[in-house]
Each structure stands twice: as structure tokens, then as C-alpha cells.
Amino acid sequence: MNEKTAPSNSPAKSSKPCVMCEKPAVEKYLPFCSKRCADLDLGKWLNGSYAIPVIEEDGGQLDDSDPE
């Protein structure tokens, strides 16, 4: 008999909590505890709440001169 293994909704083997709400993370949604927490995190990325800082050198001006 060939059975497919369904993703588990049980707590993950990892001891790390959900990164959004601190509840135990669930294997199916790692590193989150639920689809809701995963969606909340995605929303923060999409609306710009999370951003990777950029350090601009030389005042951020592009140099248009030829390097010849």
C-alpha cells in the first residue's frame, strides 16, 4: 500500500519558538507556528516594514566618468 505522508501540524523538533508570536513552531510552517503567523511575516516584507539597510558610499552619487 502506497500512502503519502501528510505534513505534520505537530510542534517541530527544533526548540526555537515561532518568530512572530513565540509559540512552539510547527514543522509544516517552520519557522512559524501557523499559516497566520507566516502570512503576517510576509505582509511585513511586502509593505516595507522589514528592510535591509544600505550604506551608500561617496554620498550615493553615481560616477559617470569613463574608467579609461
pTM: 0.60
**What string of H, E and C letters represents the secondary structure of the chain?**
CCCCCCCCCCECCCCCECCCCCCECEHHHCCCCCHHHHHHHHHHHHCCCCCCCCCCCHHHCCCCCCCC
Q: For 1-15, what is the mean pLDDT?
A: 60
| pLDDT tens sequence across 28-68 | 999 999 999 999 999 999 999 988 888 888 765 555 565 55
